[in-house]
Structure 1
Amino acid sequence: MFIKVGDREYPFHRIRIELIETGIQELFRLFDKKTIRELLQHRRYEHLKEKVIKEYTELLDVPAGIAIYQMKKNHDLFYKEFLNKYGDLTYCQFIVKGNDSLLSKKGVYLVIKNDELVFAGICNNTFKLRFNQHIGNISPKSCFRDGTATHCHINANIAEHIRKSTIYFQICPLTDLKEMKRLKNWIIDRFEPQWNLRFGSDVNYSYNNK
């Protein structure tokens, strides 16, 4: 597959997803590295401090995941304030299979579902690390406000569709971060992938697979 931008063609290489597990729910409850009190010291939770100290005193020194899960079990929607927008979805675990030489590089990656480009992103570490240890293996901490919403978002979408769709990655190795960002932004502006956090119109575009 190639994507042409101006006079330059960028080659993309297909990377297969191997599903390990799906149906993973309430992953946030396993986060036990900090208590609620410790979590409130982070700037992203400062706006919650007054309410928590006033109304949830008994949970202040409880591990954050357990405390928030207790709120959810009590049908208290305040628990969502501690999580990112995609922090309480159904996830999956997967690894990628493909050319190890390519996977050891960094660059731009795409998610393809049923031959439709649905997400574009950049990877400034190795593709293999990003896919196998981050996007494909969501950690409990990733579900929180100061976690990685993008990884939760992509993983949850893959989990939702992978049983009934053909989903795989396409990667384009690049070394320059500015070039990665330019290419990713061009792809998003041109194709408006559905899963990108920067949602545009409802129009779907397909790509040319060479």
Structure 2
Amino acid sequence: MNLKINGKTLEFKIVPLTFVAKDITSIFFNKNNKTLKETFEHHKYSRLKLLLADKYKNHLDTKLGDFLKSLKQANDKNYLCFLNKYGDNNFCEFTIQDHLTDKGIYCYIKDDKIKYIGRCTDNFKKRINQGYGKIHPKNCFIDGQATNCHLNSLINSADNVKFGVYVMTDKSTVEIKELEKLILTCNRFEWNIQTS
């Protein structure tokens, strides 16, 4: 897959995605490292504390995932207040096996069109196998990784998504960020939240 940018052609190498699971639901049920009370004490949840702490005062010592599970099962939509806007989507789990130690620009492709462009300044293994490819319960919450949830749920619901890398292992973090910014300034991609 090629992308032309300012007279230069970037060639993305296709790296196979290996799917481990699809249509995973309610991942946030598994976030049980804090109670509801401890969650309310976090500054990101201060608004919810004002709105909901009194209503659910009998559940303050309940583990957060268990509490939200009980709300969802009771059809109490207040559970959604704790999640980012993609946190209750269906997700998948996938990995890559090639270019694990490389870094650079990556893309997700569907129907021979680039749908998403991102940057990786660390390594693709961490970015994909431990990031976008596996949604952890914490990602689903308002203080979690909304972008990871958004992209993973799109990949889950799409067919034949491909992953491409433009390797820049010999480049600095600044150069990688600048190239991503240039690409996103000159193009619009359907799955990039900041450009949609």
Same fold (TM over 0.5): yes
**TM-score, scaled relative to structure 1:** 0.85
Q: Contact conserved, 2:28 with 2:137, CA < 8 A, in 1?
A: yes
Percentage of identical aligned residues:
32
9 and 199 in structure 1: CA distance in 2 versus 1, 3 angstrom threshold = closer
Q: What CA distance in whole angstroms lies between the structure 2 residues aligned with 1:6 and 1:157?
A: 29
Please tell me the residue identity of whatever aligns with 1:13.
K
Which deviates more, 24-33 or 123-132?
A: 123-132
2:59 aligned partner? 59
**TM-score, scaled relative to structure 2:** 0.91
2:163 aligned partner? 169
1:187 aligned partner? 183
Q: What CA distance in whole angstroms lies between the structure 2 residues aligned with 1:43 and 1:107?
A: 34
Q: What CA distance in whole angstroms lies between the structure 2 residues aligned with 1:4 and 1:73?
A: 49
2:123 to 121, 126, 141: 126
| Residue 178 (structure 1) aligned with residue 174 (structure 2) | yes
1:116 to 110, 113, 119: 113
Please tell me the residue identity of whatever aligns with 2:32.
D
Q: Contact conserved, 1:118 with 1:196, CA < 8 A, in 2?
A: yes
Q: Contact conserved, 1:117 with 1:191, CA < 8 A, in 2?
A: no
- After superposition, what is the alpha-carbon deviation per residue over 1:117-169, rounded to whole angstroms, capped at 9, x for unaligned? 101111222101211122111111111111111111111001001xxx32111
Aligned length: 194
Q: Contact conserved, 1:24 with 1:91, CA < 8 A, in 2?
A: yes
Q: What CA distance in whole angstroms lies between the structure 2 residues aligned with 1:113 and 1:97?
A: 20
2:36 aligned partner? 36
SS in 1 for 2:125: helix
- Structure 1 gap ranges (5+): 201-210
1:206 aligned partner? none
| Residue 159 (structure 1) aligned with residue 153 (structure 2) | no
| Residue 17 (structure 1) aligned with residue 13 (structure 2) | no
